[in-house]
Amino acid sequence: MRFVDWVMLITLSVLWGGSFFFVGVAVKELPPLTIITLRVSIAALALLFFMRVTGKTLPVRCETVTAFIGMGFLNNVVPFFLIVWAQGQIASGLASIFNATMPLFTVVVAHFLTADEKLTPLRITGTLLGIAGVVAMIGPDLLARADNNFIAQIAILVAAFSYALASIYGRRFKALGVSPIATAAGQVCASTFMLVPLMLFIEQPWNLPMPGMATWAAVISLAILATAVAYVLYFRILSSAGATNLSLVTFLIPVSAIILGILFLNESLQLKHFIGMALIGAGLAAIDGRVVRIFKKRGG
């Protein structure tokens, strides 16, 4: 990947690293469908407002709208609901570990569904190293206690698989000539139209007590930072670096979360964090392939 792709990927990991925290706050007072509906609807309003201010328009051709619906379903409706529901059942750290399987799903799916992102030994090795790094960093003891809430763990794995499918499906927007910001806006708009009726019918939010300021702050941050801004970066990276490289963000999310904790919560680095970061770094280097190619050239 280019240097600018790595910068965008790291920024995206910071934005999405906060999403687990924001969801953890919001889920204490709001049910899952209400949280994700607020998340995508507020993000849609923010992106549409930005597009209007900057003179951009949302494409409404039949094939583009169909693509928005498919992307919204795979990238928002399915994984958002499953992850928010599962976080009400299992610890956020354990959810992060299972979510880190997304690159493994992506490299396998990309191999069969794309012509330019084929499976290689380096990609498989790098992916396994990355998953090992996430486990080491967050704590293997969590996996030892993972016997309960089996359905919640499966839900996170299904969400990770849905994200992998979405990253492949989203490649079509470049061919359709849709800009990253229009793609981001279109898919959250489509998600909003799908989720609002479900949320109103199933959870009837008018019967819920009014949430506190902390919950509202978490939901707004989740919508603006971890959704609207994050998805603009997401589709830029997908367009320029491909689905496999984009999926690496799930390895960087725990690293970002730990660094943010050190900077703002007075947390300290432990040995397991260094081991985890080293494994993740090795995994990223293997998938990127640049370091290996340099050694091969020198060896040759």
In the predicted structure, residue 290 carries a pLDDT above the cut 90? no
Residue whose structure tokens are 């698989």: 161
- d(CA 94, CA 153) in angstroms, rounded, equals 8
Distances (CA, A) of 75 to 81, 139, 191, 266: 11, 28, 9, 34
pLDDT of amino acid 276: 78
In the predicted structure, residue 150 carries a pLDDT above the cut 80? no
- Summary mean pLDDT of the chain: 84
Distances (CA, A) of 259 to 2, 17, 131: 24, 10, 18
In the predicted structure, residue 181 carries a pLDDT above the cut 70? yes
Find out whether 27 and 34 touch, Cβ atoms under 8 Å: no
Residue whose structure tokens are 């392939």: 289
Amino acid at 104: L
pLDDT of amino acid 87: 76
Residue whose structure tokens are 């610890």: 91
As for how many domains the chain has, the answer is: 1
pLDDT of amino acid 299: 58
pLDDT of amino acid 28: 86
Selection from 116, 133, 151, 161 nearest residue 252 by Cα: 133
In the predicted structure, residue 73 carries a pLDDT above the cut 90? yes
Task: Tell whether the torsion through CA atoms of 223, 227, 230 and 231 is positive or negative.
Answer: negative
Amino acid at 152: A
State which residues form the domain around 223. 3-299
In the predicted structure, residue 48 carries a pLDDT above the cut 90? yes
As a whole-number percent, the residues of the chain with pLDDT over 70 amount to 86
Find out whether 47 and 184 touch, Cβ atoms under 8 Å: yes
pLDDT digits (tens, 9 = 90+) for 211-266: 999 999 999 999 999 999 999 999 999 888 888 788 878 778 777 767 766 676 56
Find out whether 167 and 118 touch, Cβ atoms under 8 Å: no
Structure tokens at 269: 């680095």
In the predicted structure, residue 82 carries a pLDDT above the cut 60? yes
- Average pLDDT estimate for 80-85: 87
Length of the chain: 300
Selection from 200, 298, 261, 272 nearest residue 21 by Cα: 261
* 119 phi and psi angles, rounded to 5 deg: -70, 135
pLDDT of amino acid 291: 59
Higher pLDDT, 290 or 236: 236
Helices (H), the chain: 3-26, 32-53, 62-72, 78-87, 92-99, 102-113, 121-138, 140-144, 150-169, 172-175, 180-202, 213-223, 230-241, 243-247, 249-264, 271-288, 290-299
Structure tokens at 259: 């660094």
In the predicted structure, residue 146 carries a pLDDT above the cut 70? no
